Chain A
Amino acid sequence: MLTLTLNGQRHCLNDLPAATTALSLLRGHLGACGTKEGCASGDCGACTIAVGTRNDRGELHYHSANACILPAHQLHGCHLLTVEGLARREALHPVQQALVEHHGSQCGFCTPGIVMSLFCLDDERRRQGVNGPPDDDTIDAVLGGNLCRCTGYRAIREAARAMHTLPRPAMDDPGELSPVSGAPASGFYRPESRSALVEILTQHPRARLIAGGTDLMLEHTLALKPLPELIDLSGVAELGHIDEQNEGWWIGAGVTYHQLAPLLADHYPAFHALLERLGSQQIRHCATLAGNLANASPIGDTPPILMALGARLRLNSTRGMRELPIDEFFTGYRCTALTKGEYLDAVYLPRLRDGEQLLAWKVSKRRDDDISAVMLALRAVTDQNGRLNDVRIACGGMAATSQRARHVEAALEGRVFDGDVLADACKAIAEDFSPIDDVRASREYRLAAIAGLLARARLRLTSRHNAIPMTLEEI
């Protein structure tokens, strides 16, 4: 049985198939049609909802999510707030009022999603006691996953800047959220401990593992696969933690990008900058680092960085835990080293040593919420003589999996990164990779863009002219 609270009202639902999405629950079962379907793939944001959970002190926190790819069963014990739930009788919520006053809607179909994304921003700022208008970067980050085809966004941005000036009535507390006990959902398994997880994996060998589900659920919504059995990692206590060690951090498989962001901001700024362009806010609230590895996409954004860092992976099964360098994890197109009954438990990020630099760039057609055409990540130490040591470079979008660029590494290792070395490195790209033409880029562009990123790496590692901008962000 699924227990959830929608806009303050408790619902108990039986017999929902495992892969039922939050959106079909809302629109099909509960008759709440304010939330729209624009793409059924988590790319347009028209279905954005606010998922509310209580923290240790019992305070409600809301985060935005794409209802079209969110498994309804993951809302068990949550407060689900939708566009219908914000206004109090005729009094609009400040987010809604600001959008009306600033002419932020035209056709109105994306508007419910935009309302909910901005509501979550407003809620977070209120909890954190932040005053004043949000800045442009914040607004772009929050709305990066909400496509509007009509307005051109200026009016929406102004509404986002103005919403804090309007009176904000307290939201009604939805009261008790904890689930009602009842028969477990058929096909949707919610282990709460690592040992239970291993056991369920053994009992249900055909079940698919799901954490954020932001990739897996598309098999259901776009390819119409039934996904009858899902094992949910998001409730496994041990997987929800980041364990700090002397030399690095173990990131549990249930840790979302959103939860990971502060650590990256403090220790890996280049990784953090990339994270801000990975999916959308809604996706980052749900998706996990481990998921990005386990789905073994050839164009995953994080694997090249993890390879450059020399990350290690912890795999677990009834046969016990084992560790694997990330370089050995991908075995082919959409194939990994995971064996039957085994799951990816945690990812180890080694701490950068003194003098060690991590650079990472993604190239995509659109800046926000796009999949990379190519990725380049580089980790190296520059010694006193300006020579590069311990060079590790990995690329995404250049082969069937993310892959180390060993010839390029060799071209750089132990050398001063001058123009000749750059030329050698660029030549080596073709020895490491033979990329293909596809919908995101041509082979020629992939090779040229990686060469461009190597040139940028050289400028970044050697330039003394810091006043001259080397990236669009620096202007």
Chain B
Amino acid sequence: MRKLIQHGSSTALSACETVPGHDSAIGHVTGRAAYVDDLPGPADMHHLAVGLSPHASARIRHMDLSEVRCQPGVIDVITAAEIPGHNEVGAVYPGDPLLAENEVRYAGQMVFAVVADTLYHARCAVAHACIDYQVMTPALDPVASIKAGLTVLPEHMHERPLPAPALDRGAAMSEDTQTSGNVDRALQEAPHVLTGEQCIGGQEHFYLEGQIAQAERLDDDGLRVLTSSQHPSEVQKLVAEVLGIPLHGIVAEVRRMGGGFGGKESQAAALGAMAALAAHRNGCAIRFRLPRADDMQATGKRHPFYNQYRVGFDETGRLIGADITLIGNCGHSPDLSEGVVDRAMFHADNAYYLGHARVTGHRAMTHTASNTAFRGFGGPQGMMPIEGAMDDIARTLGLDPLDVRKRNLYDLERCETHYGQQIDQPLIGDLIETLEASSNYRVRRDEMAAFNADSPVIRKGLALTPVKFGISFTARHLNQAGALLMIYTDGSVLINHGGTEMGQGLHTKVCQVVARELGIAYHRVRISATRTDKVPNTSPTAASSGADLNAMAARKAAITLRERLVDFASEWQALPREQLTLTGDGLTTGTGHIEWSELIQQAYLARVPLSATGFYATPEIHYDRQTGRGRPFYYYAWGAAVSEVHVDTLTGEYRVARVDILHDVGDSLNPAIDRGQIEGGFIQGMGWLTTEELKWDDQGHLLTTGPATYKIPACGDAPRDFRVALLEGHPNSQATIYRSKAVGEPPLMLAISVWSALRDAIASLADDRSSPRLDTPATPERVLMACHAARAGNVHDGGATREEMPDVMSEK
């Protein structure tokens, strides 16, 4: 650089002091924020569409695609035989071929691809395939699959107290759940024992921007892949494997996603690999966007679960023991199901000390799309049994469910989880006391009882439920992040890190952290796209860890540069280091202030390197799968919600009338963004538990393939009275970024209060003395049927009962 830019006028630091909103907000509202499908394509760009399997389980006898090749605009047709490298895009374990080979394992599986001049032509051509399938009977019931030994991965168990000798891996993986007498004896001797079962539905991510990738050939035989992915490093790796070329030949790039929610953690890779393969073969750019119906059929969803619980408790409702069985419906392949069912097991206690506990997790195989990550990652499904049990216990004993919950919360004495982690900051007791008062719970409970007593049609329900959510990837090696920080000679700062922006405001938070470490105005810091050639080997933006990991890595890079600049300034100004600080958008010395861009230009001229990397790995965490014990989580985030629902007992329709939330984010990095995560997570969780119903026919075809039949919450479904507060004054006890806590996933589970409130309203039809079974999603249909059962006094039919339940495991 021969000539430097003139210094701009000194910038007020006010922009740094006020909390910024989303860094793309203006782009969003003006339409200037571009997503992959909005980018002007290269002149040679073609489009890709895929042929999906019409059968859930079948052998491919013969494939005749000659008619497809003859259709208007078609330039290429691709099958598994054309893949030069590995035909495999499984994230952790094999089992997810890019294109089906010999057999199909779910209806909607990608079988072949068509490249054409327009997306319309490619889509039309797909219909002309002639494929001869030998159709087989699909496995569609996860409980039946477990009985038949159809799993994607072995069973796993947590048990406390541990039997004396540590289990070897083989024993822990065995299907014998009777290895310890303690839990069973505790349940036998408890004054009260309840059992229950529940079917928990899955959930379609319904990111508004469907899955998409675009691949362009570079002049050195490499490929650039623009992807809407939460995990660009995995896209890079899988593209390289499918093509059989080294990783350094592939650049994966994500500017932003139009929503992810876990649905673009592993599921986006197939699109990137497919587009790259087509681009590689045809020497042109390829855009591959899945139309909504294809997207909903081809990609995995939140795992449906079948749960059983048996709890023993005393006269006050305090738990003595719990035996919880979780069966996750994983779909046809492992994908991320190891972690998902693990996390469900880790959250089977939610915020409660279970006493003697056994938690068993099963991973059932069915011939459906491979279920995958979804905000909460099994945690929500895992919490449902114990929350159901809390309500059941209260109705058995004639207590307010809130009192039962409060008696069972973790506190400073009872603070060890069923997998052996010590909880060092059990905020939940105080948090609930505060929320109980601020939401006026007791008064409203009394008013509601009076209302219900006189109301033949409309019944009200109220529930307060807590959340404890463990933060860290349970796969230890994923808890790492890198960043690359560059300062240019005008003082502007560019930061790249491994995290991706899907709307959660990660880039905003990272910019805030960098600005704070360098003492400069927020607007000086910018984040460009996430690219695998800027920061390598990154982890998915998932497990709520985006800011915890990446902001910490960015902070380390900023500290490196800050120290370097102070070293330089000390020499330049001939002042001791201790007198120099970077603050107020520049260098403050004992005697004066040097503006930031002046400092940077002098540093440049003095040949100080103005870029640095940062790296962070979460300390402390470990988990031993063989013993089922350890500290898988660096810390826990807490929260609680009170929901009030109104139920029409003639039709089962209902409204969520009011919601009060108090949620723990430690010292918030950005209260506006955190509040947005809490509200959005809650409504998404509410949708999962209420109207979002996935339906398949008896041959395994998904019937809900678009928003006409799959109903996520609309504006009118959100409570009109929605009071959300952040818990103040409790910085994270662990040394996270500025003592903040992760916020992406935990609030989703606050919505369990809606489900619990619906059960409360229905139970009022049976004088609150018995608990109605209410599987989820609790659609108006399920609510009406539960109302009928409650009115008929038939609530023991499959709901919580005092009798011993048949154990699905023992019936083989």
A residues with a Cβ closer than 8 A to B are 27, 31, 33-41, 43-44, 46, 82-84, 86-87, 92, 95-96, 99-101, 103, 105-112, 115, 136, 139-140, 143-157, 222, 224, 361, 363-371, 373, 438-442, 444-445, 448-449, 452-453, 455-456, 459, 468-472, 474-475
7 contacts between A and B (CB under 8 A): A40-B292, A99-B25, A103-B676, A145-B714, A444-B785, A452-B651, A459-B457
Q: With contacts A224-B123, A472-B648 known, is A107 near B256, CB below 8 A? A: yes
Asked whether B717 lies within 8 Å of A368 as measured between CB atoms, the reply is: yes
Shortest CB-to-CB span from A86 to chain B, Å, is: 7
Indicate if the CB atoms of A439 and B676 lie closer than 8 Å: no
Residue of A369, A439, A445 contacting most chain B CB atoms (<10 Å): A439
Q: How far is A453 from B648 in the complex, measured between Cα atoms in Å? A: 11
Taking CB atoms, residues of chain B closer than 8 Å to A31 are 40
Q: In chain B, what residue has the closest Cβ to A86?
A: B30
State whether the Cβ of B206 lies closer than 8 Å to any Cβ in chain A.
yes
Compute how far the CA of A216 lies from the CA of B89 in the bound complex, rounded to whole angstroms: 38
What residues of A have a CB within 8 angstroms of the CB of B35 in the complex?
A: 36, 109
Whether, in the assembled complex, B542 has its beta carbon less than 8 Å from a beta carbon of chain A, the answer is no
- Residues of A contacting B648 in the complex (Cβ-Cβ under 8 angstroms): 471-472
* Contact count band on B: 35 or more
Question: Is the Cβ of B31 less than 8 Å from the Cβ of A367?
Answer: no
Are A367 and B676 in contact (CB-based, < 8 A)? no
Q: Which residues from chain A contact B709 at a C-beta distance below 8 Å?
A: 439-440
A367 contacts B653, C-beta separation under 8 Å: yes
Partner of A109 from B40, B209, B679 at Cβ < 8 Å: B209
Q: Which of A149, A151, A361 contacts B261 (CB 8 A)?
A: A149
**Residue-wise interface mask of B (659-694) relative to A, using a CB-CB cutoff of 8 A (1 in contact, 0 not):** 000000000000011011001111110000001010
Cβ–Cβ contact B120 & A224, under 8 A: yes
Instruction: Report Cα–Cα, A370/B691, bound state, in Å.
Output: 11
The answer to whether A472 touches B654, judged by C-beta atoms less than 8 angstroms apart, is yes
Enumerate chain B residues within 8 angstroms of A46, measured Cβ to Cβ: 208
Q: Closest A-chain residue to B683, C-beta based?
A: A152
Compute how far the CA of A139 lies from the CA of B695 in the bound complex, rounded to whole angstroms: 31
Known: A144-B714, A363-B780, A469-B455. 15 other contacts (CB 8 A): A41-B706, A100-B21, A106-B22, A108-B33, A109-B208, A109-B258, A112-B28, A146-B714, A149-B205, A151-B680, A152-B680, A152-B718, A154-B718, A449-B780, A471-B648
B688 shortest CB reach to chain A, Å? 12
A439–B788 CA distance with the chains assembled, in angstroms? 22
Output the nearest chain B residue to A473 by Cβ-Cβ distance.
Answer: B655
Q: Is A107 a contact partner of B503 (Cβ separation < 8 A)? A: yes
B228 CB to closest chain A CB (Å) equals 10
CB distance from A168 to the nearest CB of B (A): 15
Contact A44 B37 (CB under 8 A): no
Q: Is B91 part of the contact surface with A, judged by Cβ < 8 Å? A: no
Given A108-B503, A109-B259, A441-B781, are A363 and B26 also a contact pair (CB < 8 Å)? no
The answer to whether A367 touches B714 (Cβ under 8 A) is: yes
Are B718 and A150 interface neighbours, CB within 8 A?
A: no
A474 to B657 CA separation, bound complex (whole angstroms): 13
Q: How far is the CA of A305 from the CA of B657 in the complex (A)?
A: 29
Q: Given B30, B676, B780, which contacts A83 in the complex, CB threshold below 8 Å?
A: B30
CB neighbours of A449 from chain B (8 A): 650-652, 780-781, 784
> Is residue B446 contacting chain A, with contact meaning CB distance below 8 A?
no
Q: How far is the CA of A193 from the CA of B37 in the complex (A)?
A: 41
Chain B residues within an 8 Å CB radius of A153: 679, 683, 713, 715, 718
Closest Cβ of chain A to B419, distance in Å, is 32
Is B779 part of the contact surface with A, judged by Cβ < 8 Å? Answer: yes
Which of A101, A106, A152, A438 is B505 in contact with, Cβ under 8 Å? A106
With most chain A CB atoms within 10 A of its CB, the pick from B455, B648, B709, B712 is B648
CB distance from A23 to the nearest CB of B (A): 12
Whether, in the assembled complex, B504 has its beta carbon less than 8 Å from a beta carbon of chain A, the answer is yes
Q: Is the CB of B27 within 8 A of A367?
A: no
Distance of A103 Cα from B505 Cα, bound (Å): 11
The answer to whether A365 and B779 touch (CB under 8 A), given A36-B209, A38-B209, A43-B707, is yes
| Chain A proximity mask over B159-182: 1 for CB below 8 Å, otherwise 0 | 000000000000000000000000
Q: How far is the CA of A107 from the CA of B505 in the complex (A)?
A: 8
The residue from A39, A111, A469 contacting B29, defined by CB atoms under 8 A apart:
A111
B94 within 8 A of A: no
Which residue of chain B is the closest to A441 with respect to CB atoms? B781
- Return the contact of A147 from the options B209, B293, B649, B712 (Cβ within 8 A): B712
User: Which residues of chain B are within 8 angstroms of A439 by Cβ–Cβ distance?
Assistant: 695, 703-704, 709
The distance in angstroms between the C-alpha atoms of A164 and B456, with both chains bound, is 42
Kindly state the separation between the CA atoms of A96 and B21 in the bound complex, as whole angstroms. Answer: 14
Q: Is B568 an interface residue (CB 8 A)?
A: no
CA distance A471 to B257 in the complex (A): 41
Whether the Cβ atoms of B708 and A371 lie closer than 8 Å is yes
Is B476 an interface residue when CB atoms closer than 8 A count as contact?
no
Quick check: B650 and A224 within 8 Å, CB to CB?
no
Contact indicator A92/B29 (Cβ below 8 Å): yes
- Interface-central residue, A43, A46, A441, by most chain B CB under 10 Å: A43
Knowing A86-B30, A92-B30, A475-B458 are in contact, say whether A103-B25 is a contact too (CB < 8 A). yes
A459 contact set on B, CB distance < 8 A: 457
B291 within 8 A of A: yes
Q: Residue of A at shortest CB range from B677? A: A106
Q: Say yes or no: is B803 at the interface (Cβ < 8 Å to chain A).
A: no
Per-residue CB contact flags for chain B residues 762-784 toward chain A (1 = under 8 Å, else 0) read 00000000000000000111001
B715 touches A43 (CB 8 A): no
Residue on A nearest B29 in the bound complex, by CB: A96
Residue of A nearest to B207 (CB): A149
**Residues of B with C-beta under 8 A to A27:** 37-38
- Report Cα–Cα, A462/B766, bound state, in Å: 26
User: What separation, in Å, do the CA atoms of A367 and B103 have in the docked complex?
Assistant: 42
Does chain A have a CB within 8 A of B646?
A: yes
- Please name all residues of chain A whose beta carbon is closer than 8 Å to the beta carbon of B654 when the two chains form the complex: 472
Residues on A with beta carbons closer than 8 Å to the beta carbon of B488:
none
For the complex of A and B, the 10 pairs showing the least CB-CB separation, nearest first, are: A34-B31, A107-B503, A109-B258, A108-B28, A452-B650, A152-B679, A106-B503, A152-B683, A43-B707, A83-B31
Determine the chain A residues whose CB is within 8 A of the CB of B210 once the complex forms: 38
Q: At the interface, yes or no: B806 with Cβ under 8 Å from chain A?
A: no
B644 to chain A, nearest CB (A): 11
* Structural contact, A96 and B30, CB atoms closer than 8 A: yes
Bound-state CA distance A387–B257 (Å) is 62
Task: Give the distance to chain B from A343, nearest Cβ to Cβ, in Å.
Answer: 26
Report yes or no: B715 in contact with A445, Cβ–Cβ below 8 A: no
Give bound CA distance, A274 to B117, whole Å. 45
Q: Is the CB of B646 within 8 A of A472?
A: yes
**Is B504 touching A106 in the complex (CB atoms < 8 A)?**
yes
* Contact residue among A108, A115, A145, A151 (Cβ-Cβ distance under 8 Å from B27): A108
Q: Are B26 and A100 in contact (CB under 8 A)?
A: yes
Query: Which of B27, B28, B33, B503 is packed against the most chain A CB atoms within 10 Å?
Result: B28
In the complex the two chains form, what is the Cα distance from A363 to B648 in whole Å?
11
How many whole Å from B639's CB to the nearest CB in chain A?
14
If A154-B722, A459-B457, A475-B646 touch, does A39 touch B707 (CB 8 Å cutoff)? yes
Q: Do B715 and A144 touch (CB < 8 A)?
A: yes
Interface-central residue, B21, B25, B454, by most chain A CB under 10 Å: B25
Name the residue of chain A whose CB is nearest to the CB of B455. Answer: A468
* Interface pair B124/A368, CB less than 8 Å apart: no
In the bound assembly, the distance between CA atoms of A146 and B651 in angstroms comes to 26
Are B715's CB and A146's CB within 8 A?
Answer: yes
**In the complex, what residues of A have CB within 8 A of residue B653's CB?**
363, 367, 472
Please tell me if the beta carbons of B29 and A83 are within 8 angstroms of each other in the complex.
Answer: yes
Alpha-carbon distance A22/B584, docked complex (angstroms):
51
- A39 — which chain B residues lie within 8 A by C-beta? 292, 706-707
Partner of A84, one of B31, B457, B676: B31
Chain A residue at smallest Cβ distance from B457:
A470
**Can you name the residue of chain B whose Cβ is closest to the Cβ of A157?**
B715
Q: B356-381 vs A: 1/0 string, CB under 8 Å?
A: 00000000000000000000000000
Q: Is B554 an interface residue (CB 8 A)?
A: no
User: With the chains together, A389 CA to B175 CA distance in Å?
Assistant: 68
- Measured CB to CB, the nearest residue on chain A to B501 is A107
Provide the bound-state CA to CA distance between A37 and B713, in Å: 19
